[in-house]
Structure 1
Amino acid sequence: MHTILPFLLAMIAVIVLLNMWATKLQIAYPILLVIAGLLISFIPGLPAVKIDPDLIFFIFLPPLLFDASWSVSFKEMKKWWRIIGSFAFLVVFFTALSVAIVTNHFIPGFTIALGFLLGGIVSPPDAVSTGAITKFVKIPKATSAILEGESLLNDASSLIIFRFALIVIGTGQFIWHEAAVSFLWMIVGGAGIGLLLGWLFVQAHKRLPTDAPSDIALTLIEPYFMYWIAEQLHSSGVLAVVSGGLFMSARRLIFLSSTSRIRAFSVWESFIFILNGIVFLIIGLELPEIVDGLRSQDIPLTTAIKYGVLVTGVLIAARIISSYAAMLATFIFRRNTARNLTSGRSWLLMPLLLGWTGMRGVVSLAAALAIPITLDDGTAFPHRNLILFITFVVILLTLVVQGLTLPYFIKNIPFFNGILNEETEAADRLKMKQGLKLHVYQVLKNKYDNELNGHAGMEKFLQQWEERAKATDDNWMNEKTKVIFIELLESQRQYLTELNKDPKINEEIIRQQLYQIDLEEERLRII
């Protein structure tokens, strides 16, 4: 413990420093973390980083998925659900099938079951990597919504493939009707368990006398409960966390106070940043041990690298082909939806952009490390080290090649720039603020007309309410006016909630304004 703890603290320090460096260089921090982990692993005397395969999913996946479900726009997911569903399920299955066929043909001793196992591992793109890369470039709102929605669901579909492949490898048989029933239960049961637990957690927050620290503590353990209970019932823990997280996210204004929401945002942002950083460092730190495993099985390193490059090429090609197929199907069956998504020749370019955003990362590593070392009969799991090495090569190549070139394509290629012709956020923001000011003015005149008369502070607020914090009168705020102000803030939340039902309004702008309202309420409470 005295050896591991300083090493873990040093890892966090390295993560922070590399993130600052990546921000300065304007590249995605996962790229630097993977390379740094690889370089650090060659330092002599460092303790070996080993994680129990049975715990890797449980440690990292629940909070990462829970946070993603709170960040995604459910409104945008409903808007683009056909394309998101295609990418999350059909594209993942097509990708896994392509990997299974190619590896079975080119890798000696690699069965179709092992190919599907590898395909399930490497098929889901990593939302963290994509988000870190697109932070420095602007992508279309529709593309961003599709990628965020896909990232929530493709993890579940790929891990279902992974689980069934493990069963086939362990038992040597695949019974279709049992697999169909199990698949249905994993999807329906996982979503149902997540919704039920999400409702119970919402009620607990509402009915118990919680404060901000206890609310945040509960949100930290809730995804683990969702995942664990679903897995104990042989359902999908991933879907349970996603469905429960989406349910709770839509009701955050109901069961969390403004204090809890503000503080939870900072806590979760730091927590998820550290978790992601540790995982990407582990990707690099694990490589030397994986290479030693390949040598023990007499697999040349150059041969393993060729296999990794081959699988990476299959993944990129399969995703681009699938992107065009999904867009074509949407264009044929829902022409209006397709026109909303793209216009003119850009519908030919959007699938290419979606196809090139297939960086792999956290989920792929977690799945690969979760492969058991031995089968139930005690024999070594076939080709485990090779699968781990191929996964590492896929993660590294997609992060470096696609991750470094994607910003260049978006910024410098005219075709990609042509995609970014949708309505700017400035127009949405202006519309929201104008409507919000009119709403506040009407509420003040209709409900508090008597209180406004003769009160200098309130009259000033009515005339110039956006600059009320600059008031110099020390008596401008008392308990009565504070109550009115807080009621006005709650009224603004209700207005923004209704405004968010407009499909043309960007939900991210609404969320930013709601966060500012929370900050304003906290400022009022301490006056």
Structure 2
Amino acid sequence: MDIFENVLVMLVAACLLLQLSRRLALPYPSMLALAGVALGAMPWVPHISLDPHLALALFIAPALLDSAFDTSPRELRRNWMPLVSLVLVAVLLTTAVVAWAGWAFAGLPLAAAITLGAIVAPPDAVAAAAVMQQFRIPRRTLSIINGESLLNDAVALLVFGVAVSAAGAAHVPMSSSLPMLLVAVPGGALVGFAFAKLNLHFGAPLFAGTRSAIIFQFVMTFGAWIVAERLHLSPIISVVAFGMTLGQFAPKRHAPRDRVHSYAVWGAVVFTLNVLAFFLMGLQARGILTRLSGPQLAHALEFAGLVLVLVIAVRVAWVQVYGAAMRRYKLGLIARGRAVPLPSRRINLLIGWSGMRGLVTLATAFALPEDFPGRDLIVLAAFAVVLGTLVIQGFTIGPLIKALKIAPDDSLEREISLARTTMMDAALAALEAEPGGEAAAVREEYRAARTLAQDTQQPQAKTAHDRLRAVAIRAQRRALDALRHGGQIEDDVYHQLEEEMDWAELNAIPASDVRLQSV
């Protein structure tokens, strides 16, 4: 009962911190990190431990799904060069530098040192994106950071899995595990794709309009993880493939009411898991600090500080080197038939400074077995990196954006205006042949909306307007899908307008059809 009560207190505190972070324009993960430290300092809060495998699946799978669902494959292809630089080179370089420090300065076994490097290597885009969106920085920069956050998790977790396995079997060299990745990665992708297709073709129509649909989504998400793990494939790649497949095909198969409720539930779940992870961080850190004393504690804290400095410095340095090479040799990309501008020094500095660590680093630290070599030192260093990056970089990224004077990007508004105008044209064309005064009234409403380039619809009762409005909305959805498929708008615009259409359609149907059934 004590644990349950403390969890409730954590959630209430997190809600209050979220409001505070909004008022102060600070990323809420940074506030949660400080709250986790404060909680760990309270001696009456009980220690909470999780099974390592449970911790990894519980915290990582929903976070990966949430990121993968919103990731555009087209954007990944368009930004492949900077993504490869950040996802492969930056992650592996950070892993290698931190592993060397762990081996040289802390005396960790090589596999354990590589494990530490893999834990602290992947940045989390949540904190950076929360601040950047307030300043309307270039959308391509946000797209790169979000895409990096998804893919570098997969790369770092693959390295983490290989290193942990090697540390558990000291007589087996790490190179012997590498051939397994040739099977684990594509095999995991196939498992995730199969689960997504199963969900789309059977789960979506079977459970449509019920609360069971959301429960089934959770079952399929963790099922994709567990099945891949049992088959000795990559559960991380499985969930990423599952989420990206759903993100591309689910919008056409799910009804608006299912989508609205699903987004709300998943958003709350991911936020709750972030809260619990940061508070568990504080409790674990308290236990480690209690076990260490004297010179041992001083050495551990010095090493944790060294890892924090290395993690920040390696990313900033590599991004600057990569950007300088791109500008020096003019290695631009082609997108939509035109050259993409090379990243400026200001943008590179911003991307380099946006490497805050978060949920993935915490979850992988929790997932270390209790008897893992150097576990206390590794977990303490990981927590120091999360806390340090979220506080140092999280609190300064806003002022940095202001100081860099990056020009605001208004392409989002332009694309929304284009899409809205096109959608209104499609609705008016669909209603053109409809006779009667009701059709004329609806046409006038859409003409006004087109003129204003915004949705001014009002709630409707169950009248003849319902059928006509449904006809118009279906036409708008087809037009929106065509714009997305043709590459004229990006996925962020698509999802914003899709949500607008969802609410419009919910307003146009009877309340009895909106309300979810109990089963």
In structure 1, the residue matched to 2:140 is 142
Q: Which moved more, 1:433-442 or 1:140-149?
A: 433-442
In structure 2, the residue matched to 1:178 is 176
Does structure 1 residue 444 correspond to structure 2 residue 440?
no
Specify every segment of 5 or more residues in structure 2 that has no aligned partner in the other structure, as ranges. 512-519
TM-score, normalising length: structure 1: 0.89
Distance 2:15 2:446 in 1: 45
Decide whether the 8 Å contact of 2:124 with 2:356 is kept in 1: yes
Distance 2:211 2:159 in 1: 39
Decide whether the 8 Å contact of 2:332 with 2:340 is kept in 1: no
* Match among 399, 416, 428 for residue 390 of structure 2: 399
CA 1:224–1:464 in 2, change beyond 3 Å: closer, same or farther? Answer: same
Distance 2:446 2:131 in 1: 43
In structure 2, the residue matched to 1:417 is 405
Distance 2:194 2:301 in 1: 46
Structure 1 counterpart SS, 2:64? helix
Distance 2:416 2:392 in 1: 35
The letter for the 2-side match of 1:227 is W
**Cα deviation code 1:159-206 (max 9, x no counterpart):** 111111122222224547632321112211111111111111111134
CA 1:187–1:455 in 2, change beyond 3 Å: closer, same or farther? Answer: closer
Kindly state the Cα deviation for residue 158 of structure 1 after the two structures are TM-superposed.
0.7
Does structure 1 residue 478 correspond to structure 2 residue 469?
no
Decide whether the 8 Å contact of 1:291 with 1:301 is kept in 2: yes
**Cα deviation code 1:80-118 (max 9, x no counterpart):** 1232233222221111011112222222x2233222111
The letter for the 1-side match of 2:3 is I
Kindly state the Cα deviation for residue 279 of structure 1 after the two structures are TM-superposed.
0.9
Distance 1:50 1:17 in 2: 26
In structure 2, the residue matched to 1:162 is 160
Does structure 1 residue 51 correspond to structure 2 residue 42?
no
**Cα deviation code 1:44-71 (max 9, x no counterpart):** 3222122222311011111111111122
Distance 1:462 1:428 in 2: 19
CA 1:410–1:300 in 2, change beyond 3 Å: closer, same or farther? Answer: same
In structure 2, the residue matched to 1:125 is 123
**Cα deviation code 1:415-460 (max 9, x no counterpart):** x323x35443222222222222222222222xxx252468553453
In structure 2, the residue matched to 1:291 is 289
List 4+ stretches of structure 1 deviating above 6 A. none
Kindly state the Cα deviation for residue 504 of structure 1 after the two structures are TM-superposed.
5.2
In structure 2, the residue matched to 1:266 is 264
Distance 1:329 1:422 in 2: 25
In structure 1, the residue matched to 2:9 is 10
Distance 1:495 1:139 in 2: 28
Sequence identity (%)? 27
Q: Which moved more, 1:145-154 or 1:276-285?
A: 276-285
The letter for the 1-side match of 2:395 is L
* Match among 87, 112, 115 for residue 114 of structure 1: 112
CA 1:361–1:421 in 2, change beyond 3 Å: closer, same or farther? Answer: closer
Distance 2:83 2:306 in 1: 27
CA 1:94–1:337 in 2, change beyond 3 Å: closer, same or farther? Answer: farther
In the comparison of the two structures, how many residue pairs are matched? 504
Structure 2 counterpart SS, 1:300? helix
* Match among 187, 201, 212 for residue 189 of structure 1: 187
CA 1:220–1:399 in 2, change beyond 3 Å: closer, same or farther? Answer: same
In structure 1, the residue matched to 2:219 is 221
Decide whether the 8 Å contact of 1:258 with 1:519 is kept in 2: yes
The letter for the 1-side match of 2:463 is N
Decide whether the 8 Å contact of 1:195 with 1:244 is kept in 2: yes
The 5-angstrom pairing of residues 44-443 of structure 1 reads 44-107=43-106, 109-175=107-173, 178-295=176-293, 299-327=295-323, 332=329, 334-337=331-334, 340-343=339-342, 347-374=344-371, 381-411=372-402, 413=403, 416-418=404-406, 420=407, 422-443=409-430
The letter for the 2-side match of 1:392 is F
Q: Which moved more, 1:194-203 or 1:322-331?
A: 322-331
Distance 1:458 1:394 in 2: 57
CA 1:318–1:209 in 2, change beyond 3 Å: closer, same or farther? Answer: closer
Decide whether the 8 Å contact of 2:458 with 2:507 is kept in 1: no
Specify every segment of 5 or more residues in structure 1 that has no aligned partner in the other structure, as ranges. 375-380
TM-score, normalising length: structure 2: 0.90
The letter for the 1-side match of 2:497 is Q
Distance 1:322 1:127 in 2: 18
**RMSD of the alignment, in Å?**
2.5
In structure 1, the residue matched to 2:35 is 36
Kindly state the Cα deviation for residue 148 of structure 1 after the two structures are TM-superposed.
0.9
Distance 2:40 2:65 in 1: 31
Kindly state the Cα deviation for residue 235 of structure 1 after the two structures are TM-superposed.
1.1
Distance 1:166 1:251 in 2: 36
Decide whether the 8 Å contact of 1:215 with 1:260 is kept in 2: yes
The letter for the 2-side match of 1:104 is W
Kindly state the Cα deviation for residue 120 of structure 1 after the two structures are TM-superposed.
0.5
Distance 1:52 1:455 in 2: 61
The letter for the 1-side match of 2:292 is L
CA 1:340–1:389 in 2, change beyond 3 Å: closer, same or farther? Answer: farther
The letter for the 2-side match of 1:229 is V
**Cα deviation code 1:269-325 (max 9, x no counterpart):** 111111111111222222110112323xx6533322221121112111221233245
CA 1:491–1:305 in 2, change beyond 3 Å: closer, same or farther? Answer: same
Q: Which moved more, 1:172-181 or 1:316-325?
A: 172-181
The letter for the 2-side match of 1:265 is Y
**Cα deviation code 1:117-150 (max 9, x no counterpart):** 1100100001222233335433221111111111
In structure 2, the residue matched to 1:495 is 479
Q: Which moved more, 1:490-499 or 1:28-37?
A: 28-37
